[in-house]
Amino acid sequence: MTTPIPEINARRLFQASCIALIVTAMTFAIRAGILSELSASFDLNDTQLGWINSMAFLGFPVATVMGGLLYNYLGPKKLMHIAFFGHVLGLILTIWSSGFWGLIISSFCIGFANGSVEAACNPLIADMYPKDQTTMLNRFHVWFPGGIVIGALLSQFMTGANLGWQSQIAVMLIPTALYGWMVFTQPFPKSENIETSTSTNIRSLFGPLYIFMLLCMTLTATSELATQQWVGRILSNSGASPMIILALGTGLMALGRQFAGPIVHRLHAVGVLLVSAIVTAIGLYMLSIATGGMVYVATIVFALGVCYFWPTMIGFTGEYMPKTGALGMSLMGGIGMFAVSIWNPIIGGWIDASRAEAVANGLTGEAVELAAGQSTLASMTMFPVLLIVAFGILFAIRGRLKKCDHTQA
């Protein structure tokens, strides 16, 4: 008797992927919301907090590189199983942490789970929607800023209700259980519309365009994610609510990504990246000088700038460098997170150094923290400025770029 082939439900798999990405995003938002509490509870300075943050960003590229290399062998379903168990382990270990090293280990586990989600879902979605990869990847990545909104507002509410940081971590086990149930009960498709030869994938990584985009990804990811991770700490004395700033900015990003299709088709992916770099530079500069209500205006500008960076970089890889396959998409995301892991303790060091300089200049109280935060944001403006140059060059030669035709897939 022939065993019937299970029906593949692409919509349900897309929904499970989105919920997994919500968990990933909530880990970023809630960690950003509890940094000050962690600092007080365990007597940690900003450099130490930077190292804790960096472990989450380091675990991510380790998982994406491993997942990218093993995707053709394991497939997306097993990678999602790894993500689920990684999230459960990391969240529980965080709750039980008693100091710096416990937070280091648990943050790495969560980062590894987050990277496994990215390694599984980006190629899965590209494979299920071969004719509209960039648009669908933007819709998938709606739920990174969307999840940050959820996490930021939840952290704000729970902090206001005097619920400790352990409770804020524990609440993330609920959506983790939901996507785990969906993944374990749903059949996954075989890869049909992406390159599944690992040797071809590896050879294609050494093309000049791919290497150029890898370098750009280190800057786009740092511009977006490093700023978001430190927003609560940097802008806590600006006269605006840090978690509302985070929720406002990421909410706008979610809306922008949901309606990315017409923008991508009109401007071309490279045009979207160039305009994004320009607007991001303006937004970061505004954040470095704004106080009070103007912080919200600057946040809107910044959010519109970074909105399309991540999914467009991944979509560009799938459409213009398809022979890199799942490995190419995973490594693109991994190098971005690795860059953020490197910059996180450096940014923490910038804050400590700027604070010391502010004290030496005679500032006291909240003025010290505001000056340190604004100085750090001004230094971070260099990332999108470099991107303006890089994407300007790419835009000038865009006519020579050849997009893969998936219509025969």
DSSP state of 225: I
Q: For the residues 105-120, what does the mean pLDDT come to?
A: 93
Domains of the chain: 10-184+209-394 (1.20.1250.20)
pLDDT of residue 263: 73
The DSSP result for 314-335, as a single string, is HHHHHHH-GGGHHHHHHHHHHH
Q: Give this prediction's pTM.
A: 0.77
Q: For the residues 253-279, what does the mean pLDDT come to?
A: 83
pLDDT of residue 2: 43
pLDDT of residue 385: 97
pLDDT of residue 233: 67
Tens-place pLDDT, residues 330-352: 899 889 888 988 887 888 888 88
Share of the chain above pLDDT 90, in %: 33
Comparing 105-114, 116-125, 399-408, the range with the smallest average pLDDT is: 399-408
Report residue 3's pLDDT band, with 50, 70 and 90 as the boundaries. very low
Higher pLDDT, 263 or 326: 326
Higher pLDDT, 134 or 30: 30
**CA gyration radius for the chain?**
21
Tens-place pLDDT, residues 236-245: 666 777 767 7
Cβ neighbours of residue 370 closer than 8 Å, sequence gap 6 or more: 237, 238, 291
